[in-house]
Structure 1
Amino acid sequence: MPTDDLPETFHVTTDEQLRAVSNLTRHRIMAVLRFEPATITQIAERIGLAKGSSSYHVRLLERAGLVKVVRTRKVRGVTERYYAMAARTIELPDPGEGAPDMLMRHAVADLEAAPADAERHVGMAHLRLTEEQFTELGERLQALADEYRKLSDPSLPDASFVFALFHPGTGPRAEEDAK
């Protein structure tokens, strides 16, 4: 099923939605559904999960409105449901000062779970930028992500692109880490 008719953005606004996206397994399920619909069995196979667990997590995502059934078909008397994302992108609320950023935590967990012998490009750069340069760099990174998302082909292997552009904190937490 093409994703042409999906809304561009789903804004996470409720506690139920936030709990749904905060779980690493459900984050991985949404990654499977990002480009093409899949059944519970297909999802379970892709992320190495039991079908019952996969079904449980998909039901929670569906109840929160993050995924939806986009197609059904009868297979040997059983209705097989194909699930897809409810929108192209999911926008999380700002976690607030000092709170963990779930998106970055999931990205780090996915990076740590990636095969050690696979090609990866990970780096960190400390920059000194004007506010204009900071804004421009953020916009350029987002545009690059959007450009490659449009080029994505569901038949190719998954790849994740994560970026975080921020001003490091100087509050109590940063001071604790410096000790």
Structure 2
Amino acid sequence: MPTDDLPETFHVTTDDQLRAVSNLTRHRIMAVLRFEPATITQIAERVGLAKGSSSYHVRLLERAGLVKVVRTRKVRGVTERYYAMAARAIVLPDPGEGGPDVLMRHAVADLEASPADGERHVRMAHLRLTEEQFAELGARLEALADEYRELSDPSLPDASLVFALFHPASRARAEGDAK
């Protein structure tokens, strides 16, 4: 099933769905399935899991509606299932004030687990922008990410792009929280 046939977005709305995507192993499984379907064995090999663990996590993702079986075939009397993402993008609910941002936690864990000798581009910049500049920068970052997602080729190595554009907590509020 090519990714062109997938719905554009899947909105995480239930507690079961949120629990499913909150797990780092399941996040990594979804990354494997982002561009092409895979079997439990293929997923286990790519993520570095035992097949039983891989199967467990995929079943939880399937029950939550985040992945689905897109193809089956018989192999020596056993039905082999190919799983794919349920949509091209998963949209998480806003964690709310003080809540954990699951996406950013997974991104940091993936960055920390990436090869130390591999090429990485990591940067943090503090900016002072008008609301219009802030909105424009956000739109440009999203458009750039979409442009490169369209260029993605499943035969090429994985690369992750994560960005966060936000207004930090005010200094007075942050100092009040520390007391």
- Give the counterpart letter for 1:102 in structure 2: V
Q: Does 1:170 align with 2:173?
A: no
Structure 2 residues without counterparts, runs of 5 or longer: none
Task: Report the equivalent of 2:127.
Answer: 127
Q: 1:172, 1:68 → 2: CA distance?
A: 47
Contact 1:98 1:173 in 2 (8 A): no
Give CA deviations for 1:13-68 in whole Å, capped at 9, x if unaligned. Answer: 00000000000000000000000000000000001001000000000000000000
Q: 1:56, 1:62 → 2: CA distance?
A: 10
1:100, CA displacement in angstroms?
A: 1.0
**What percentage of aligned pairs have identical amino acids?**
89
Q: CA RMSD in A?
A: 1.5
User: Runs of 4+ in structure 1 displaced over 3 angstroms?
Assistant: 176-179
* TM-score, normalised with respect to structure 2: 0.96
Task: Report the equivalent of 2:103.
Answer: 103
Contact 1:3 1:35 in 2 (8 A): yes
1:170, CA displacement in angstroms?
A: 2.5
Contact 1:10 1:89 in 2 (8 A): yes
Distance 1:172 1:80, change over 3 A: farther
1:4, CA displacement in angstroms?
A: 1.4
Task: Report the equivalent of 1:64.
Answer: 64
SS at match of 2:4: coil
Task: Report the equivalent of 1:147.
Answer: 147
* TM-score, normalised with respect to structure 1: 0.96
Give CA deviations for 1:155-176 in whole Å, capped at 9, x if unaligned. Answer: 0000000000000013787327
Task: Report the equivalent of 1:45.
Answer: 45
Task: Report the equivalent of 2:5.
Answer: 5
Distance 1:177 1:125, change over 3 A: farther
Structure 1 residues without counterparts, runs of 5 or longer: none
- Give the counterpart letter for 2:59 in structure 1: R
Give CA deviations for 1:109-161 in whole Å, capped at 9, x if unaligned. Answer: 00000000000000000000000000000000000000000000000000000
Q: 1:21, 1:172 → 2: CA distance?
A: 34
Q: 1:115, 1:22 → 2: CA distance?
A: 23
